[in-house]
């Protein structure tokens, strides 16, 4: 009988000492911009189709941020608060 092996789960935060703002800049690239304020982030999405939604949400949620998606006129923002 063959046993099904389950893959090891990937830890949510690979390196907790990495600077989160730099990591977000790396993930987002040219598809958005980041503003830091009072320990949180406000990310403006420039290109909704090319934006790495899942990676950004995972990065913020695994670090216990509350994440809100808001709209101001035609612009979409991701607001993350600790």
Write the pLDDT tens digit of every residue in 22-67: 999 999 999 999 999 888 999 999 999 999 999 999 999 988 899 9
Write the secondary structure of the chain as one string of H (helix), E (strand) and C (coil).
Answer: CCCCCCCCCCCCCCCCCCCHHHHHHHHHHHHEEEEEECCEEEEEECCCCCCCHHHHHHHHHHCCCEEEEEEECCEEEEEEEC
pLDDT at position 41 is 96
pLDDT at position 8 is 57
Stated pTM of the model: 0.78
What ranges do the domains of the chain cover? 36-81
């Amino acid at each position: 009988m063959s046993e099904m092996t389950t893959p090891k789960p990937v830890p949510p935060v690979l390196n907790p000492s990495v600077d989160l703002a730099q990591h977000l800049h790396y993930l987002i690239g040219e598809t958005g911009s980041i503003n830091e304020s009072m320990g949180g982030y406000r990310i403006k999405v420039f290109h909704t189709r090319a934006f790495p939604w899942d990676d950004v949400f995972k990065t913020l949620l695994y670090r216990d941020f509350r994440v809100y998606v808001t709209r101001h006129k035609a612009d979409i923002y991701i607001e993350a608060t600790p």
